[in-house]
Amino acid sequence: MSSIIKILPDHVINKIAAGEVVERPASVVKELIENAIDAGATEVFIDIEKAGTRLIRVTDNGSGMSKEDARTAFLRHATSKISDDADLEAIRTMGFRGEALSSIASVSHVRMLTATPGSSSGVMVEIEAGNVKSLADAGAPRGASFEISHLFYNTPARLKFLKSAATEFSHILAAVSRQAMAHPSIGFRLTHNKKPVLDLPLSMSVKERAFQLYGNEITENVMLFSGGRDNVHIHGLIGRPAYSRADRTYQDFYVNRRAVKNASLTHGLYSAYGDMLMRGRHPVGFIFIDIDPALVDVNVHPAKAEVLFRNQSQIHDLLRDVIREGLRAHGMPVISTPEATG
């Protein structure tokens, strides 16, 4: 019998990967900001048109790329962040797979302008559906600027599943806000259809960044906390129990500055509050877990939105205890009953 199995061509492989990495315009924004952070940027500008369906532009003042790297960056599995499997055990950067740019480029048109510090000239690359259309020297400031247009033009199913512009933009705003909370020392600016939406100068602390993002009401109702042990430091802002909310809008967990969803961490937070929260109400919390990267696996989710702790229940208990201690330190009547761990 003749064989029926074949290896897919690269452009199909890239499109399949893109299906996982690039769910909606906000995913592109998230990946490009992560790259800017990894490049050491101190300023990131994000300009969006038509909720990202017409244009997503992310400009940073980071390390930039050489001409050679500007081309290589868009290839699948091309990364400067890890070089062998041992590196996977201790990831300190936001990116590590070398998949984001190749995925984005396979479902859009990309124009990138970049220059390294001190170089006499920069470079401009144009890519359509993953194919390089042009690569030429061009004047550019230090850093990198990515313009993504025609997103999902060659994946009509994905385009059809996009929600209204208001919903898609709210996802973009949430993605930018999460990155901004995690990196107060980076300045962010976000515009939509040329109108300013966020202007966050670099700030000194998480609390100051929370104020820039969410204003007085949230900032007045949160308390700083911090604690931990050995290789784990847990800190951030937690809401006064009396200031609970009807949803989880102001509740984010960050593991080594990466925004993640993790049911056990969420459970730890709620157990810390215990009876202080009314049924169906949610505490505000911006919670940072800084942990030895060897103790957490970040390579478990296609959009890097989840992590796996080597010792999940210890982290749960530690988080609960540190937050309880934080509440107690601020004069809240915490009751420390032993509970099942999540």
Ligand X SMILES: Nc1ncnc2c1ncn2[C@@H]1O[C@H](COP(=O)(O)OP(=O)(O)OP(=O)(O)O)[C@@H](O)[C@H]1O
Residue 135, classed as helix, strand or coil, is strand
Query: Crossing angle, helix 165-182 and helix 25-38, to 10 degrees?
Result: 20
* 256 touches ligand X by CB under 6 A: no
Residue 73 CB, shortest distance to ligand X, in Å, is: 3
Please report, as residue ranges, which positions from 98 to 157 form the binding site for ligand X (by CB under 6 A): 98-102, 144
Q: Which of 320, 336, 229, 337 is nearest to 283 (CA)?
A: 320
| Angstrom distances, CA of residue 130 to CA of 17, 74, 112, 126 | 12, 8, 13, 10
Which one of 28, 56, 65, 100 is in contact with Mg ion (CB under 5 A)? 100
Nearer to ligand X, 183 or 324 (CB): 183
**Distance between CA atoms of residues 258 and 255, nearest Å:** 5
Which one of 15, 97, 178, 282 is in contact with ligand X (CB under 6 A)? 97
Six token digits for residue 62 = 């980071």
Nearer to Mg ion, 95 or 268 (CB): 95
Nearer to ligand X, 28 or 284 (CB): 28
Query: Pattern 8-37, binding to ligand X, x per CB under 6 A?
Result: -----------------------x--xxx-
Nearer to ligand X, 33 or 272 (CB): 33
**Distance between CA atoms of residues 113 and 218, nearest Å:** 38
Nearer to Mg ion, 37 or 319 (CB): 37
**Distance between CA atoms of residues 189 and 186, nearest Å:** 10
Please report, as residue ranges, which positions from 6 to 35 form the binding site for Mg ion (by CB under 5 A): 35
Tell me, what amino acid is at 226? S
Query: Pattern 63-82, binding to ligand X, x per CB under 6 A?
Result: xxx-------x----xxxx-
Nearer to Mg ion, 95 or 184 (CB): 95
Contact residues for 61 (Cβ-Cβ < 8 A; gap 6+): 41, 42, 43, 141, 142, 143
Site residues for Mg ion per CB under 5 A:
35, 95, 100
Site residues for ligand X per CB under 6 A:
31, 34-36, 38-39, 60, 62-65, 73, 78-81, 95-102, 144
